[in-house]
Chain A
């Protein structure tokens, strides 16, 4: 399978979606692919992860091979309306009306449609030589509660919007979202009950409910394995203070415990999704920048192949 052109990173809040999305972009850039990182959910977070100034509503190059953008609902709606209306003057007038926004918001899924239409327009953008401007577009999508309705929009609307420009936009979006050669959704969890339960539910509703191609589930923030079974037993039996520094022993045992928790949660994830989860390493360091994302990028590469 070819490397996907659209990667959608999703999962419950607090599982490190933004870091994972940045890791996906890092992996793409390392493979000499031009990447666009798109932030939808929490303004400022992506800029903090990348350690760059605040993102704009237009894609901007933030590192070699990497552009980033903060997708804005109002702006996306504007673009959509401009695209749908023959007269720029009228569309501007209409958009400046608060009431129109209320009416527009009453159209089921129109905001989501506008967001997706923006993403598709970036996917289809070409450079001067006629090649795609971005080889891969990575979506740091909102927390699961919001991302399923977002990704379901083409389906919800396709039944309704069969004619006209909006219908055309949704059909194009559907083609992207449904094509396993083009799109991959990545569901992120961490080794905690709530995160794994949510990831399983999300994985199923994307794969079975929306027929969106889903990659291997990602188990983020996994402690490294430092000890063999025998060594683990040794650590368990050792008496603190007697044979080894108590603090060292406690640290070792803590790793063993965290490792075991990760294994147990990985097992649940595997059994419930019937897909082999990919472990992403826990990052211990404090400040992180674009260049520090290599461990995540390396670990994530198999999910993008």
Chain B
């Protein structure tokens, strides 16, 4: 591995848009996951596919652009341009409602479900089981993939500082359900393993009831009731966790990593990518957002700027002389700052390329040559209308900045 990745930006994300069955957008917070997920979904719908996009935390304007309804947790048809050959449905993740819904659906009786839902410890135990909203996003994904008839589902993942929150979620739930933890919860004194002496039991009971007193919860009773009740539901959860695990590693599930060329962002992104690799999947495309666009502060600017006007058309530099001299100086300062920024961004992008190439290995395909890089310009405002999302969609598909594709 030479630590370099080929700059294969020519074909953009078109292969994902056309072939994938699931596209997962990954990355640390604030890098444009939600917007990119929406754009990829729109691109696929414009290419004739029946698409669903699961979005987690859209900004108000994106919500408006996709005409997302206020009620989360339900698929909603997005009005595409008339001539669009495909369809697009969007759904806003409702983690709270989803888990409650699952408990209801998987419980053998409504009474049991209601008892679980009413348990004061349920929400927190549910949190411990689920790990995070990430798991809920995956449950929702599974529902859509299995329950509905779509060619492609695009997933925007919840803000997480660790990719593992996503990939470990099914494993964690499986491990927990397979372990004896639930039994122990049913009879907390067994926590102390071999400690069967009366003294140990007495002490432990004292501690746990102390914990109850401190929190004001009837913790022991609630936990053990919940454990018993949840034990009934858990085989169904096991099945689903296994299905999610398989779906995440299916060959037509593709991964897009979002990044921003911020000074300390590369550390985040590479740590994220390493975790993704350890989870055994490959990153198929990288979108670097907020890159300074061309036509500003190139190498020439960095190495001394000619403040005189260009004279290739024969005009004399009078015009600029009529400008106040500090204006010319300030223009030069702007170009210098941008040149510094461009160099810094380039360094970070190089670090990302090198870092990703070095990480590759355990991944499913692990073939960096196939990986696509798309650099999006810094000044592209967040899409505020469907047209804006469509323009971004076309830019992502062909892998060129919007300025050259959006008319």
Contacts and interface: CB of A to CB of B under 8 A. Distances in A.
Interface residues of B, number: 87
A163 B213 contact: yes
A103 B263 contact: no
B334 A252 contact: yes
Interface stretch (B80-88, B101-109, B184-192, B278-286): B184-192
A285 B296 contact: no
A8 interface: no
Interface stretch (A26-34, A43-51, A175-183): A43-51
B159 interface: yes
B327 A161 contact: no
A14 B263 contact: no
A245 B344 contact: no
Nearest to A85: B207
A128 to B, nearest CB: 33
A251 B124 contact: no
Contacts of A161: 214-216
A249 interface: yes
A90 interface: yes
Contact of A99 (B30, B31, B184, B195): B184
B56 to A, nearest CB: 10
Contacts of B307: 245, 248
Interface footprint category on A: 35 or more
A94 to B, nearest CB: 7
Interface in A207-246: 226-227, 231, 234, 238, 241-246
A250 B296 contact: yes
B263 A286 contact: yes
Contacts of A14: 28-31, 260, 262, 265
Contacts of A194: 30, 34, 59, 382
B181 interface: yes
A98 interface: yes
A251 B334 CA distance: 6
A94 B201 CA distance: 12
A248 B305 CA distance: 8
B128 A105 contact: yes
Contacts of B191: 94, 97, 99-100, 103
B215 A106 contact: no
A142 to B, nearest CB: 8
Contacts of A287: 263
A2 interface: no
Interface stretch (B2-10, B47-55, B246-254, B312-320): B312-320
A84 interface: yes
A251 B293 CA distance: 11
Interface stretch (A68-76, A129-137, A254-262): A254-262
Given A193-B61, A242-B313, A244-B309, A15 B30 contact: yes
Nearest to A169: B214
A99 to B, nearest CB: 5
B267 A44 contact: yes
A251 B297 contact: yes
Contact of A241 (B214, B297, B310): B310
B193 A97 contact: yes
A242 B335 contact: no
Dominant secondary structure of chain A at its interface with chain B: helix
Contact of B203 (A90, A249, A286): A90
Nearest to B226: A106
Nearest to A49: B264
B184 A227 contact: no
B331 A248 contact: yes
A285 B297 CA distance: 14
Contacts of B193: 97
B347 to A, nearest CB: 6
Contacts of B341: 284
B145 interface: no
A42 B29 CA distance: 11
B305 A197 contact: no
Interface in B166-222: 176, 179-181, 184-185, 188, 191-193, 195, 203-204, 207-208, 210-211, 213-217, 219
A287 B382 CA distance: 28
B296 A243 contact: no
Contacts of B34: 194
B214 A166 contact: yes
12 contacts: A18-B264, A99-B181, A103-B191, A108-B123, A164-B210, A193-B382, A194-B382, A197-B60, A242-B319, A247-B295, A254-B338, A286-B343
The 6 closest A-B pairs by CB, nearest first: A14-B30, A13-B29, A243-B319, A286-B344, A160-B216, A166-B214
Given A13-B159, A242-B315, 6 more contacts: A42-B28, A163-B213, A226-B334, A244-B320, A245-B306, A251-B331
Interface of B: 28-31, 34, 59-61, 121, 123-125, 127-128, 158-159, 161, 176, 179-181, 184-185, 188, 191-193, 195, 203-204, 207-208, 210-211, 213-217, 219, 223, 260, 262-265, 267-268, 271, 295-298, 300-301, 305-310, 312-313, 315, 317, 319-320, 323-324, 327, 330-335, 337-338, 340-341, 343-344, 347-348, 379, 381-382
